[in-house]
Amino acid sequence: MQIATWNINSVKAHMDVALAWLKEAKPDVVCLQEIKCETDAFPKAAFEELGYNAAVFGQKTYNGVAILSRSPLSDVRRGLPGDDSDGQARYIEAVIPWKAGVLRVASIYLPNGNPPGSEKFTYKLAWMDRLAAHAADLLRLEEPLVLCGDYNVIPMPGDARNPEAWTVDALYQPESRAKLRGLVNLGLTDAVRLLAGEAPGLYTFWDYQAGAWQKDNGIRIDHHLLSPQAADRLKTVRIDRHVRGWERPSDHVPVAITLA
């Protein structure tokens, strides 16, 4: 089973790119972030024509997450538990039938948090605490679990072309990185690093500004975190960086894993 994550940075603005990539890559499951539309405005029909079911948690103008799947989606959760006042559409989770029984998948758009020291950064850290608490509950189910998406965290210096440039950014603050390590230490595995080791240059995001793509000034912030039951079945990882070179692309590229 091929499971991809992609911050599409507006599904409407990048619909042509999305459909072209789906036809090329033929993933079984796709977790989308930053769809930037309300749930009812999500273009389900276009994806259904390619054979995908869709579960959507949208929001006007900002954020928004979705899961596309060739198999039916059930037990859909929209939003993280732990804060009933949080109306931001950043988390959706669903169960997908699989030969191993079931697979639970979540599409995550973690807060950016900039600037450090602001209310936005405080919200980011609190959101990560809620994610960790929910992940701990899911891990107790002892089932294949894939928590994937745009984590807005650069885990290690090797995950940035120029880490020094990010030292004052919320994506690379010690607190953000420590929260991500704490999440992984619950018993999750970073799929890319499991198979690629410490290989450099495995970027998933290049800013639109300052010629970042042309200079390969990228960072890795889009991650698949796997439960032990999923990690045991991990066969391949792939970063489709060529998509960043297409006409009118997202600033992120799809990242795909294959489970046996």
pLDDT 10s digit of each residue in the chain, 260 long?
999 999 999 999 999 999 999 999 999 999 999 999 999 999 999 999 999 999 999 999 999 999 999 999 999 999 999 999 999 999 999 999 998 689 999 999 999 999 999 999 999 999 999 999 999 999 999 999 999 999 999 999 999 999 999 999 999 999 999 999 999 999 999 999 999 999 999 999 999 999 999 999 999 999 999 999 999 999 999 999 999 999 999 999 999 999 99
Q: Please, what is the end-to-end C-alpha distance for the chain in angstroms?
A: 6
pLDDT at 156: 98
Spatial separation of the C-alpha atoms in residues 253 and 14, rounded to whole Å: 12
Spatial separation of the C-alpha atoms in residues 8 and 213, rounded to whole Å: 16
How many structural domains is the chain composed of? Answer: 1
Containing structural domain, residue 171 = 2-259
Q: What is the pTM of this model?
A: 0.98
> Where on the phi/psi map is residue 187: left (φ > 0), alpha (ψ -120 to 50), or beta?
left
CATH number at residue 237: 3.60.10.10
* β-sheet bridge partners, residue 94: 105
Phi first, then psi: give them for residue 65, nearest 5 degrees: -135, 155
Contact predicate 147/141, CB 8 Å:
no
